[in-house]
A and B are shown apart, each in its own frame.
Chain A
Amino acid sequence: MIHDASPRELARIRNQKIGFVFQFFNLLPKLNVLQNVELPMIYSGLAGRERRERAVQALRMVEMDNRAKHRPMQLSGGQQQRTAIARALVNNPKIVFADEPTGNLDSHTGEVILELFRKLSQEGRTIALVTHDPEIAAVTPRRIEIRDGKIARHVDLKLAGLDRVNAERGTRNAEQAANPQSPTAN
């Protein structure tokens, strides 16, 4: 389906079905936080007022609504990444791809971001998170390990009935992020 889609259809799929979160945030430095979050909706043709409302809503979700008029350069890494997540979510995509979302952040901020992902996952969103870090991988409910381009291991806590055990044990801080690890990048 993806293979024989036209460029226009691909753009639509990127716009409506997929949200992207990058390691380097990839916000537009010329636009402020609100405008960055509005960007996907501009391309889906929403009217100005609705864009504004939904962008503010998405920012509230990531607790960035008080920074709406800031430029990305005026924000910390974590704030930038939360903005990027808001941008990824604003069109209600079927799946969010996150490529090393914590890779460029210090570990504390990284945990905050992971916590956010965990919350989103619990709200019922599908998130594909790519990471090299086994500690981060450990908090996800479903893991697919890729080695040299091949699936090396597939751990599904839900299937094994271990998710509840894990949850009760409350291992580390960001434990319950229900994130399958996926090979898909960008």
Chain B
Amino acid sequence: MNLWNAILIGFKEIWAHKFRSLLTMLGIILGVSSLVAMSALVKGMEVGAKEALIAIGGLQKVRIEPQDVPIQQWQLKDQAVGVTINDVYALEASAPLVAKISPEMRLFGATASKKGKSFRPWNCTGVWPVALEMYEHVIHYGRMFNEIDDEMARNVCVIGTGVRDELFGSPEDIGEEINPVGETININGQLFTVIGMFDHYESEQERKERELAKLQPKQASTGPKRSRGWSGRGGSFAFRMKNNTLLMPLNTVWMKFRAAGAGASKSSSTAADTVNVPDPRLSVLEVKIADVDHINIALQQIRNVLMATHKGIEDFSFRTQEEWAENINTFIHNARMSGGIIAGISLLVGGIGIMNIMLASISERVREIGIRKAVGAATEDVFVQILVESIVIAVLGGLVGLIASYGLVRLIVSFSPTDNAPIITITAMAIAFFFSACVGIMAGLFPAFKAARLDPIQALRYE
């Protein structure tokens, strides 16, 4: 008997017991669809988590921070220069593995105010225009300041939507989008012209939440007007931080606020350090390396250059996003594991269901098996027939399960439309289908073996 005949017989047998076969398949259908849906959910989560990582500049971004002189170089402490603009020129000249360098001078605790409203932006920093690409900022209104603004230390700034919302009002509250370009704001007592505003950054999830909220009628708020806490707007931390940004030209910050050295750690830098330094001290140096795969070599190169400019004093340290990326990976791995185990178990239960039905089916078909053997079916013919039947059930169930997984995913989406959209991958479907076929084989082996072993004489006598 060839395989094609066996498959044909398998289909006929399934068709003869439509309802029973359907119920049996249901286990596999649920198993496969939950496996696919689970992996789609995790994939969605993964994409969502990586969104934030990309929003802050991705894995290539390395932050060089000033740090205390190490204890074994304590005697050289007063010669430590800190991270300065000199390092930037040195790195530009001699670190080819570095793609972009953005020096930053942060203004800690700066207050921006406008018409009596005041606000402390999360990040109030003097930068070079290159910071636009460094942080993956996108200009929404106006323009980024350029090298001329920086050279002339103009009082201009570019703000994020968070700052705009606080000083001018957010579009949600006043019902219209305000373009702050051209307005004048006050930063620590100095007047600055807003020349640009960034896009509003948000995760896919937040965007959906906002759109959903737009569709629903606004609930009448009861009681006095109040701020309902920080969690209300802005969503995840990385995006809120990015929106609450106020950027000014580096030279402006250095000259107008004498902020040099502001970022040097408190213990090593006294008030005297901050004044009269020939090089502007930077609070931080952001570096984008050319290739993530060679991050170790790139860091070594940067370190070599900086050790030269710092006269061998290691008063700087590196900070990368590797840990964050690893955390995401660990989280995704765990979610995938736990989901996979649950879906795997349900697939296994489906397999047990098939085995159960196959056992019941052969015990009611003992006579048929006897007849088949009497007319010449060999042991392996019966074995193959039963095994193929079980595989056909599992594979059909798997196929239906793949279709059902689409439905399941849509169902999940309709339950919580604001979550990260699940992404069904071909790989997940292939794996789920492969497993369903495996389950079919495993479930069929024992019943097939049992049926094949029947003695034809005994089987024919069986009533």
Binding site for B on A (CB under 8 A): 7-8, 11-12, 14-16, 20, 22, 26-28, 30, 39-40, 42-45, 87, 91, 186
Contacts and interface: CB of A to CB of B under 8 A. Distances in A.
B135 to A, nearest CB: 71
B7 to A, nearest CB: 13
Contacts of A7: 378-379
Given A42-B1, A43-B1, A14 B457 contact: no
Contacts of B380: 8
Q: Report, nearest first, the 6 A-B pairs whose CB atoms are least far apart.
A: A15-B376, A11-B378, A43-B376, A40-B375, A26-B371, A43-B377
B460 interface: yes
Nearest to A186: B457
Given A11-B373, A14-B373, A28 B368 contact: yes
A43 B378 contact: yes
Contacts of A26: 367, 370-371, 374, 460
Contacts of A39: 371-372, 375
B219 interface: no
Contacts of B374: 14, 20, 26, 186
Given A11-B377, A14-B375, A40-B376, 14 more contacts: A8-B378, A11-B376, A11-B378, A11-B381, A14-B456, A15-B377, A26-B371, A26-B460, A30-B12, A39-B372, A39-B375, A40-B375, A91-B376, A186-B374
A47 B2 CA distance: 10
B457 A12 contact: no
Nearest to A25: B371
A186 B374 CA distance: 9
Given A42-B5, A45-B1, A186-B460, A16 B12 contact: no
Chain B binding surface SS class: helix
Q: Kindly name the residue among B16, B378, B457 whose own CB sees the greatest number of chain A CB atoms within 10 A.
A: B378
Contacts of B460: 22, 26, 186
Contacts of B367: 26
Contacts of B368: 28, 30
A87 B375 contact: yes
A87 B371 CA distance: 11
B375 A15 contact: yes
Interface string B356-375: 00000000000110111111
Contact of A12 (B1, B371, B376): B376
7 contacts: A11-B379, A11-B381, A15-B375, A28-B371, A39-B371, A40-B375, A43-B378
A7 B453 CA distance: 10
A157 B238 CA distance: 106
Contacts of A43: 1, 372, 375-378, 381
B358 to A, nearest CB: 17
A87 B374 CA distance: 11
B170 to A, nearest CB: 72
Contacts of A87: 375
Contacts of B372: 28, 39, 43
B453 to A, nearest CB: 10
Nearest to B377: A43
Nearest to B13: A30
Interface in B330-377: 367-368, 370-377
A86 to B, nearest CB: 12
Contacts of B457: 186
A8 B383 CA distance: 13
A14 B376 contact: yes
B379 A20 contact: no
B383 to A, nearest CB: 11
B87 to A, nearest CB: 82
Contacts of B377: 11, 15, 43
A85 B128 CA distance: 98
Nearest to A44: B376
A42 B374 CA distance: 13
A22 B375 CA distance: 12
A22 to B, nearest CB: 8
A30 B371 CA distance: 13
B18 to A, nearest CB: 13
A31 to B, nearest CB: 9
Nearest to B456: A14
A12 B5 CA distance: 18
Contacts of A186: 374, 457, 460
